Every structure is written in C-alpha cells, then in structure tokens.
Chain A
Amino acid sequence: MARIVLDGVSLAYGERQVLRDVDAVLTERRIGVVGANGSGKSTLARLLNGLVLPSRGRVSVDGLDTARDGAAVRRRVGFVFTDPDAQIVMPTVAEDVAFSLRRSPLSRAERAARVAEALERCGLDGHADHPAHLLSGGQKQLLALTAVLVTEPDVLVCDEPTTLLDARNARRVAQLLAALPQQLIMVTHHLDHLESFDRVLVVDDGRLVADGPPAAALAAYRELVG
C-alpha cells in the first residue's frame, strides 16, 4: 500500500479557511472519509492527488510531494468525481477509456487490449461502441471508474462516487470498488459502504475530529450530526 502523509495541512480560499492543521498518515487498504456538506472532506480528497495544493503544510505520496511532483503523484493516484458527466471526454465508451492511455508509451494494440480488459472488469464490455452520454447514470459512473482504472493507479480516491446514483447502482459501484486490489480512499455519505473498511476519518469544519476503525469513527460522526 502507498504511504500518504498529510503534515500540518491547512488550506484557505481567500478569507475562507477550508482545512485547518490536518495531520494523518494513510497506509490502510480501505479508508473512508465522512463529514457534513461543506466540512472540507472533498477538499481533503483533492489534496491527495495534487488537484489542490495546501496553503500551509505538505502532502506526499510515497515520498513524492504533491506540490513539486504533481504529475508523478497523479500517475499513482487516480481520482473519481461525483458527477460522471463532467469526466467523459470522448463520444464512445471505449474511446473515453482509451483517452486515459493517450500519452502512455503503449502500442495501439496494447492500448486496445488494456481498454478491453478494463471494460470487461467493470462490466461495460457490451457497451464499448455506445455513445457515452447516452448511458445510464450508473453506467456513466462505471465508465468514469474504468477510465481511471485502465491507467492502473496504486491508489484510487473517490469523491462521493455513489451520491448521484440510485440504490441499485450505488451498491453495484460500491461492490466494484470494494473488490479492487488498489488502495481506496472514498469520501461518501453512504455510511453502510464503510462498515467493512479499515479506517474512517471524520472531517468537521476543516478539522479531523475523529479517526479510527469504522465502528468508533462512524459512532462519533453520528453523534456529531445528531
């Protein structure tokens, strides 16, 4: 597993302080992040692959600083967003997955094989030539996930990947995520998805207010939100 270190991390957008003095070392295979809307949990997730940089402190992945080695960090840490529509770049399913490999040194045949394998793993192999924007919400999120997994990242960060999905598709995406060999860091409001995780972080008003095994951390979160 990768070793992700947040060392005295604070982040502010102008006057607004979003994260305050966050310290954590993340090495577990399954880590959940919970918190109320606006608590700073999505910003915390974005720090992990250098999408946003701390105003103060340092974030590193296996010793690579997200501020200095952003490209190398992003090759190791894949990111899945809440809204899959904003992640689809190409007209068809297979082309969108292949887009992730556009700058890789793989040959055309190797890329095609990797894309086919990734689509099959995520249950989209029957949709390769379908227009991506006409897929259902659940299938679009699976496509967004496939487009990240095809690059074979060591770590996958997901920011509320099931929030826009119905219960059936949310369960399907959660099951797929749970079965991945990669280290997974998932921000979610679906607390039941975190029961089998190794560790849960609770974020409130930009601070890490609880951190531990799911049972204890989720109990603290439930108490916090009343």
Chain B
Amino acid sequence: MTAGPPRVDRLPVRRPSPVHRTRPGVKLALLAAFTAVVFGFTTLPVLGAATAAVLGVAALARLRPRDLLRQVRPALPFAAVVGALQAWTNGPVAAVTVGGSLVVAVAAAGLVTLTTPTQDLLDSVVTATRPLARFGVDPERVALTLALAVTSLPVLARLAGEVRQARMARGAERSVRALAVPLVIRTVRHADRLGEALRARGVDD
C-alpha cells in the first residue's frame, strides 16, 4: 500500500444537479453572456444581481461555499490591485464595481469548471473551435491550452509557496527579487518538463 495524503476531497463534478446535467456548451455560452453583461454594465445593481445569480446557481449545484471560495481565492489579490487603481482614478464606487465584477466573473467561471468534467469541457471547446480549423487553428491544441491553464494554477501556487518559504529561510522576506527570479526560473523549468512530458504522451503526434 502507498502512503496516502492526509485528506483529499473528491472534486464536486460528479454530484447530480440540474447545473451538472446542463450541457457544457450551454454553460460556456451562458458564462460568455454573463461575463459580457457584468463587465459591460459595471454598476452596483448589476453587481448585486450577478452576485445573487452566482450564489443561487452554486446552491442549485449543491456546492459547498469552500469549493467556490477555492476557485475565487487566487483572483482576490489581482482584484484588490484593480480595485485600488480604480479607487485612485475613478472613486470608491468604481473600485467596488470593477473589483467586484472581476471576482464574480471568476466565481461564475469556477461554477462551470466545478460542475463539468474537464474532458466534456475540452470536447465542447474542440466543437466550438472546429470551424476555425480552416484558418489553421488546431481545435485540440486550443482545448489543451485551456486544460493546461486550469491545471497549472495549483502548480504555480505550490511553486510560489516553496519559493516564499526558501526566501524566508534565507532571511530575505522583503526581497522582491528573491521571490521573482527563482519563481520565474522554476516556472520556465516546469513548462519545459511539461512540454517534454506532453511530447512523450504523443500530443505533438
């Protein structure tokens, strides 16, 4: 027997609900429309309605709050920076609406990934981008890029955590350079190894 991790939760993509049963293509189209509205009309009433819609769909999908929070958490620092810039240039209401819209859009995207098996999402992306094949676009490659973007987030978070700890161990907690340089190097090395592994699995064939 192998030593298991302390606790590994199942991903919630298998829970039966109307949201889970909705076709991936429909979910992606709704997500595109939702995002267009949220960023097209950055007002407090729209933000409020969008937040209520995301929470309502999450409840319908029987997702735990921590599942959704896990999706949103990586976007929070970015939303804070955007909000701060908006507060400086356009005032506090713009800070809330623009920063909030970003978080709500990420949460909506998280709803799609949490309720749809990745293979089904990839198949939908391949179907949607197939007409672009005549212009030289490889639908499988587009789908693979999407999958890699999704799966690279936890890897990058782990790399950043390791570099941060190494920086602390060497007493350079405040050095941006001590964080950025090794993180970039390790990220490039990871990308290199991932590319080699994909070639070994015949992706380029």
A148→B57 CA distance, assembly (Å): 38
Q: Is the CB of A89 within 8 A of B193?
A: no
A contact residues, range: 35 or more
Q: A71-B205, A74-B202 are in contact. Are A91 and B151 (CB under 8 A)?
A: yes
A37→B145 CA distance, assembly (Å): 33
Q: Is the CB of B193 within 8 A of A142?
A: no
A142→B200 CA distance, assembly (Å): 17
Q: Which of B1-9, B43-51, B82-90, B99-107 contacts A (4 or more CB under 8 A)?
A: B1-9
Interface string of A124-153 (1 = CB under 8 A from B): 000101111111101100100001100100
Q: A51-B200, A100-B201, A131-B8 are in contact. Are A138 and B3 (CB under 8 A)?
A: yes
- The secondary-structure label for the interface of chain B is helix
Give the total number of A-B pairs whose CB atoms are below 8 A apart: 111
B173 at the interface (CB under 8 A from A): no
Q: Is the CB of B119 within 8 A of A136?
A: no
A38 at the interface (CB under 8 A from B): no
Interface string of B132-151 (1 = CB under 8 A from A): 00000000100010011011
- Which residue of chain B lies nearest to A85 when distances are taken between CB atoms in the complex? B155
A169→B201 CA distance, assembly (Å): 24
Q: Is the CB of A74 within 8 A of B2?
A: no
A51→B196 CA distance, assembly (Å): 7
Q: Which of B10-18, B33-41, B73-81 contacts A (4 or more CB under 8 A)?
A: B10-18
Query: A138: shortest Cβ distance to chain B, in Å?
Result: 4
User: Which residues of A92-110 are within 8 A (CB) of B?
Assistant: 92, 95, 98-100, 102-103
Q: Name A129's contact: one of B2, B10, B158, B190 (CB within 8 Å).
A: B10
B21 at the interface (CB under 8 A from A): no
A28→B102 CA distance, assembly (Å): 58
B168 at the interface (CB under 8 A from A): no
A155 at the interface (CB under 8 A from B): no
Q: A49-B200, A130-B8 are in contact. Are A91 and B2 (CB under 8 A)?
A: no
Q: Is the CB of B11 within 8 A of A139?
A: no
User: Which residues of A65-92 are within 8 A (CB) of B?
Assistant: 70-71, 74-75, 78-79, 81, 83, 85-92
A56→B33 CA distance, assembly (Å): 56
User: Which residues of A154-197 are within 8 A (CB) of B?
Assistant: 166, 168-169, 172
Query: B126: shortest Cβ distance to chain A, in Å?
Result: 10
A57→B117 CA distance, assembly (Å): 45
A91 CB contacts on chain B under 8 angstroms: 11, 113, 118, 150-151
B4 CB contacts on chain A under 8 angstroms: 136, 139
Q: A81-B193, A87-B197, A148-B201 are in contact. Are A130 and B10 (CB under 8 A)?
A: yes
A51 CB contacts on chain B under 8 angstroms: 196, 199-200
Q: Is the CB of A142 within 8 A of B155?
A: no
A63 at the interface (CB under 8 A from B): no
A-B contact list, 26 entries, CB within 8 Å:
A51-B199, A74-B200, A74-B202, A75-B205, A78-B200, A81-B193, A83-B193, A85-B155, A85-B190, A86-B197, A88-B151, A92-B13, A92-B118, A123-B1, A123-B2, A129-B10, A129-B14, A130-B8, A130-B9, A133-B155, A134-B5, A134-B9, A139-B4, A139-B5, A168-B3, A172-B2
- 5 pairs of A and B residues whose beta carbons are closest in the complex: A86-B193, A71-B205, A79-B200, A87-B197, A129-B10
List B residues at the A interface (Cβ < 8 Å).
1-5, 8-11, 13-14, 113, 117-119, 122, 140, 144, 147-148, 150-151, 154-155, 158, 190, 193-194, 196-202, 205
